[in-house]
Chain A
Amino acid sequence: MAATAETVEQVKSIAGEKYKYGFVTDIESDKAPKGLSEDIVRFISAKKNDPEWLLEWRLKAYRRWLEMPEPKWAKVDFPAINYQDYHYYSAPKQKGDGPKSLDEVDPQLLETYKKLGIPLHEQEMLAGVQNIAVDAVFDSVSVATTFRKQLEKVGVIFCPISEALERCPDLVRKYLGSVVPVADNKHACLNAAVFTDGSFVYIPPGVRCPMELSTYFRINEMNTGQFERTLIIADKGSYVSYLEGCTAPMRDENQLHAAVVELVALDDAEIKYSTVQNWYPGDENGKGGIYNFVTKRGACRGKNSKISWTQVETGSAITWKYPSCILQGDNSVGEFYSIAITNNAQQADTGTKMIHLGKNTRSKIISKGISAGKADQTYRGLVKISAKAEGARNYTQCDSLLIGDTCGAHTVPYIESKNKKAIIEHEATTSSISEDQLFYLRQRGISQENAVALVVNGFCRDVLQQLPMEFAVEAQKLVAISLEGSVG
C-alpha cells in the first residue's frame, strides 16, 4: 500500500530529529582511562572509597566475567562489543568533597536536569505539590538527591549506593548480590565488577513511604558505559513506589548500559517499581544508540509480599531486559506490566520471569509490544512453578501491534510447571493499526499522528493505568513521540 511507502519516507525524514533529550552537557569530567582490567576495577573501587570486602567482591566478579560467555539466546543482532573501548568511570568534576546540598551542585548540572524536565531545585521548593524525591545520576555518579530530610523523619533511607556503604554498610552487605548473584549473566557480572553508583532505598518495618521515589539516569560522556546498581529493601509491612527515568545524548557510538536492580520484599511488604526508559535509540539506520543490557529482579522473600514491575520501554538501540520476580514467600504476588515500543532500527528482546516457589503464589504478566519501521521485537517470558508451589497461579497476556509491514514481533513464552495443580493461562494476540481506524479518526478531525497515538495509547491502556499518576501522562506523550512519523 501507499501508506507503507510513505511511512518509510516519513520515518526517514524525522528519525533522530525528534529525540529531544539528545543534547550534550559541556562539563569537565574526571574519567578513568579507556578499557577494562583489574587495575580499572581497583581504580573505581578506590574512587568510591569501597570497604575491603567490596573490592574483593568486585575483583571476584571481574575474574568470573572474563570467563563468562556472552548471552546469545536473545533475538537481537549487533557486532561484538569491544569492552576495551569504553570508559568505566566518568564523573563531573567538582570542588572539594562533593555537594552537601543542592546549593553546592554545579549549576550546569542543575540546568541539565531542568532541560530534561527534572528541575531538582524547583522540586524541593514545590514540596507537597509534586511530592517526588529524586536521585539524579549523571554518568557514573549521583549528583543530587532531593527530599532527604523529609524521608529521614520516617526512617526511609534514600541515597546513592556509595553513600549507603558508609551509612548502613551492614544492610548493603547483607543484600547486595542476594537477588542477582555476581555471576548471574555476563552483563550483570560486569556490573558487579565496575558499578559506580545508583540508588539505595531502605523502608523500615511498617512504614508506607510518604512520597514517590525516583532516580533519573543520564549518560553524558562519550564512550562511557553506565553501570548503576539499585538496591531496594522493603522491610516487613512497608510500601514503596519507585520510578526511574533514563536519557542520553545523541551520539554515533553505541554506549553501553549494564545495570542491575535488586528488590527485596519481606513479609507483607510491597514494592512498586516503574521504569520509563528513553535512552537514545540511535538514528534511522541503527547508527548509535544505547545498548541497554539490564538485569532486574525482585525477591518476594516474605509471606504476603508483592513486587510489581511496570515498564515503558521506548528508547535504546538494543534492549535486553527481563524484570523478574522470585516468589518465595507464601501468598506472594508478582506482576509485570510492560509497554515496549520499537521504531526504525531498534531491537528489543524483553519480558519477565516469574518463579513460583511458595504456596499460593500468584503472578500476572501483561505485555504490550508495538513495532514500527524496521524494528524487531520479542517478548520472552518464563513462568516456572516448583513442585512445592501448591495453589500457584499465573495469567499471561501478550499483545503485539504492528505498524507497517517491515517490522517484526515475536512472542516466546516458556512455561515449566512441576506442580500439576498449578493454573497457568496464556493469551496472545497480534494486530496492526488498520487504515480503517486511521481514516475514521482523521474524519473526525484528528491528525494522522494523533490518530496513531490514540490507537496505540488505547492498545497500551491496561499498562498505562498501572503507572503512578504523575508519570502516566508523561508516558502517554512519550508513546506518541516515539511513534511520530511511523505511519505515512
Chain B
Amino acid sequence: MLEIKDLHASVQGTEILKGLNLTVKPGEVHAIMGPNGSGKSTLSYVLAGREGYEVTGGRIIYCGEDLTDLEPEERAAKGVFLAFQYPVEIPGVPNSTFLNEAVNSVRRYRGEEELDKIQFVKMLRAKTKELGMSDEMLKRAVNVGFSGGEKKRNEVLQMAVLEPKLAILDETDSGLDIDALKIVADGVNAMRSPERSALVITHYQRLLDYIVPDKVHVLAQGRIQKTGGKELALELEKSGYADFKGEAA
C-alpha cells in the first residue's frame, strides 16, 4: 500500500524529515507516535502533497506509484485521505455541497460517472446514519461554528463518503472528549478492510484503545526510531519520549 524510502523533507529550508522509512501493507493500521516537533504533522502534509513541504530526497510509493510529483487533488483522487488536526472553515459553502463537489471531483478523475443529486443525497444519508450524525450538520457551512468534536466528526464523515484506500489521521484525537473519541474511532474501524490501510498519528495512547493498531512507530527527530506492536504504545505512555529526545535541539 505505502512504502516510504529514506524520505527527506524540508519546510522553508529546514529539514524536518531526515531519512524516514515506513512500510504499510494493505489492511494494516499503523500508529505513529512521537514528541512535539518530531515531524508527525510534516509527514502527513508531505504525504498529502501540501505546498511548501518539499521532498528533498527519497521516495513515497503508494500502490506501486511514486506520489512525489502529484498534486494534492490527484493524490486524493487516488485514495489518499488526510483527516486534519485543525479542520478548516469554508464560510457560505454548505457541507453537503462541499461533499458533493468532492465526491464528483474524485469520480471524474477516476473516469467514473458522477452521482446525480438524488444518488448523492441517498448515499450521504446512509453514511450519516451509519455514523450516528444528524442531517442538520450537512446544511451548515463547512466547519463554521462547529465545536471541536463536530469538526472531527465531520472529518470522519468526509472519510466515510470518500472511502479512501489510505487514511491518514493527524492527531484526530486532540481536543476530543471520550464520546467524540469513540465516534471517531468507530468511523475508522468501520472502514477497516483487507484493502484499506490507515496511518494514525497521535500523541497519546488513549485513541489506540479504540483503534487498535497492527504496528506502532516512534517518530522522533525526523526518523522512525522504534517499531513495535500495540504494546509499544502502552510502554510509551509510561516512560514518555525521553529516550528518543537525545539529540533534540
Contact = CB atoms under 8 A, between A and B. Distances in A.
Interface of A: 2-3, 434-437, 439-448, 450, 454-455, 457-462
B195 interface: no
B247 interface: no
B111 interface: no
B167 to A, nearest CB: 12
Given A435-B51, A440-B88, A443-B48, A458 B93 contact: yes
B88 A437 contact: yes
B145 interface: no
A450 B105 contact: yes
A436 B143 CA distance: 13
Contacts of B103: 445
A459 B51 contact: no
7 contacts: A435-B51, A435-B52, A442-B73, A444-B158, A447-B73, A458-B92, A459-B92
B91 interface: yes
B90 interface: yes
A444 B82 CA distance: 8
A436 B73 contact: no
Contacts of A440: 84, 87-88, 90
The 5 closest A-B pairs by CB, nearest first: A458-B92, A458-B93, A461-B92, A445-B76, A444-B102
Contacts, number: 79
Interface in B53-75: 71-73, 75
B105 A445 contact: yes
A439 B72 contact: yes
Nearest to A459: B92
Contact of B90 (A3, A442, A458): A458
Nearest to B144: A458
Nearest to B159: A444
Nearest to B76: A445
A189 to B, nearest CB: 40
A447 B51 contact: no
Chain B residues touching A, range: 20 to 34
B75 to A, nearest CB: 8
A454 B72 contact: no
Nearest to A442: B72
B105 A446 contact: yes
A461 B94 CA distance: 10
Given A434-B88, A436-B88, A454-B97, 10 more contacts: A2-B52, A3-B51, A435-B52, A439-B50, A441-B102, A442-B76, A443-B75, A446-B73, A457-B93, A459-B92
B200 interface: no
Interface string B157-173: 01000100000000000
B184 interface: no
B73 to A, nearest CB: 5
B162 A459 contact: no
B216 interface: no
B77 A445 contact: yes
B212 interface: no
A443 B72 contact: yes
A186 B165 CA distance: 65
A332 B210 CA distance: 61
A396 to B, nearest CB: 19
Nearest to B74: A445
Contact of A442 (B71, B92, B97): B71
Contacts of B87: 440
B96 to A, nearest CB: 13
A6 to B, nearest CB: 9
A46 B113 CA distance: 59
B9 interface: no
Given A3-B51, A454-B101, A458-B141, A445 B90 contact: no
Interface string B95-112: 001100111011001000
Interface string B15-46: 00000000000000000000000000000000
